[in-house]
Amino acid sequence: MDIGSRITQLRKAKGISTNKLANLAGVSQSYLREVEMGKKNPTVETLSYICFGLDTTITAFFSCDKENILPALLSAIENLSHSEQLKLAEFINAMKNSD
């Protein structure tokens, strides 16, 4: 699992800006951006502060269960254009009907 990508995924799903998360976690915004881009790796202690800012636990951070994926999916769908959302709906319906 890419820690930086996971942080970005959860941050966006919760609608938190990089600046706000950095403030909540007690780290600089530039450091958080470098972590999200994979240029730096946080210590376990720093990751626990980031998880606190994301209102999640380290265990939940590393799990990919339905509760963690659904907000990320909804956030990603909201960022699609209307026509892309329609195409996604058609794709999902086609997948459901292929069973």
Quote the pLDDT of residue 78.
Answer: 82
The CA distance from 9 to 11, in Å, is 6
Quote the pLDDT of residue 18.
Answer: 96
pTM exceeds 0.75 = no
Find out if CATH 1.10.260.40 is the number for domain 3-97. Answer: yes
Quote the pLDDT of residue 66.
Answer: 56
- Domain positions in the chain are 3-97
Quote the pLDDT of residue 99.
Answer: 61
Quote the pLDDT of residue 96.
Answer: 84
Quote the pLDDT of residue 51.
Answer: 95
Task: From residue 87, give the alpha-carbon distance in Å to each of 83, 91, 97.
Answer: 6, 6, 15
Of 59, 6, 52, nearest to 26 by C-alpha is: 52
Q: Which portions of the chain are predicted below pLDDT 50?
A: none
